[in-house]
Homo-oligomer: A and B are copies of this chain.
Amino acid sequence: MTDASVHPLDQALRLAPLGEHRFRGETTAPWANMVGPFGGVTAAVLLRAAMDHPERLGDPLALTVNYAGPVAAGAFEIEARPARTNRGTQHWSLAQHQGGQLATTGTAVFAVRRDTWSASELTMPEVPPAAQVAIAAPRQGLEWPNRYEMRFVEGDWPDLEAGDELPDSRTAMWIRDLPERPLDAPALAAICDAFYPRVFRRRRRFTPIGTVSITTLIHAGAATLAAQGTRPVLACARGVSFAQGFFEQRAEVWGDAGTLLASSIQVVYYRD
């Protein structure tokens, strides 16, 4: 069921409460990946369940999502259980089941933010503003990338026929939801996974891959995210270590004012 008046991301994040910390959701065709749904949207819908929970405290601070098994097109169930609530932090246990089988596990931490001394030791890369960077052409044969407007500063989708190895796997892109949608924590969590697999760029050839686990730290509270509005954010990723069938990808997402909105690391399975 697609409701044209609802944004595709909000459609994918729609949850019906079932009580007892359980929620019913459904995959949507616009977010299809090669197999199953885009992992970023799976992360976002787990986070959404905790955000929708009546016992929720504060805003998302940390999210770990482990992709334990495939998710098929159709209905699924999410369990978002507040495992412990403190004065300023709240710890969540997350799981996604489909057809009675566990597909995804996870944890989240929510926090009440307060104004404090602040500093950053990482600076946003110097890149041209989004308006000066061309919008990438739509992807053929893959749905989810077309839910984003992507403007590549560095590391566009690689030519997988080239076959010769590149010395790095860096990508920097201005990105926003398509159609435009005000940024919030689930959208940001999804963007942290919106990079094509780093091993594709390093090797410039296709190889079967699958994200195993992603952890995202959200550095901005709801007000900072709301202030970003619908303007593109700068999303940067790189591969770190590729060894024995698993590689690490690190990513940062920056607001256009130069604020680090999120950091993310993931480990991805690759074949040969």
Given known contacts A83-B105, A107-B105, A271-B116, is B213 in contact with A62 (CB within 8 Å)? yes
Query: CB < 8 Å: which of B69, B83, B106, B121 contacts A84?
Result: B69
Which A91-117 residues have C-beta < 8 A from chain B? 91, 93, 95, 101-102, 105-107, 109, 111, 113-117
Count of this chain's copies in the oligomeric assembly? 2
CB-contact partner of A244 in B107, B116, B165, under 8 A: B116
Contact: A86 with B109, CB < 8 Å? no
Of residues 114 to 136 in A, which have CB atoms within 8 Å of B's CB atoms? 114-122
Measured as residues with beta carbon below 8 angstroms from the partner, the interface class of chain A is: 35 or more
**How close is A221's CB to chain B, nearest CB, in angstroms?**
6
**A106: min CB distance to chain B, Å:** 7
A161 interfacial contact with B, CB 8 Å: no
B121 touches A244 (CB 8 A): no
A239 CB within 8 Å of chain B: yes
Residues of B within 8 A of A102 (CB): 83-84, 91
Q: Which of the 9-residue segments A9-17, A175-183, A187-195, A260-268 touches chain B? A: A260-268
**Please, which residues of chain B bring their CB within 8 A of the CB of A250?**
263
Summarize A's interface: helix, strand, loop or mixed: strand
Closest chain B residue to A93 by CB distance?
Answer: B105
Interface status of A230 (Cβ within 8 A of chain B): no
B263-A241 in contact (CB<8A): yes
Nearest-neighbor residue (CB-CB) of A70 within chain B: B86
Residue of B nearest to A213 (CB): B62
Tell me whether A242 is interfacial, beta carbon within 8 Å: yes
A203 within 8 A of B: yes
Task: Please report the C-alpha to C-alpha distance between residue A240 and residue B218 in the assembled complex, in whole angstroms.
Answer: 12
Q: Are B212 and A89 in contact (CB under 8 A)?
A: yes
Q: Given A122-B241, A240-B260, do A213 and B109 touch, yes or no (CB 8 Å)?
A: yes
A120 touches B260 (CB 8 A): no
Q: Which residues of A are in contact with B by a Cβ distance under 8 Å?
A: 61-62, 64, 66, 68-69, 83-84, 86, 88-89, 91, 93, 95, 101-102, 105-107, 109, 111, 113-122, 165, 168-169, 202-203, 212-213, 215, 217, 219-221, 238-246, 248, 250, 260, 263, 265, 267, 269-272
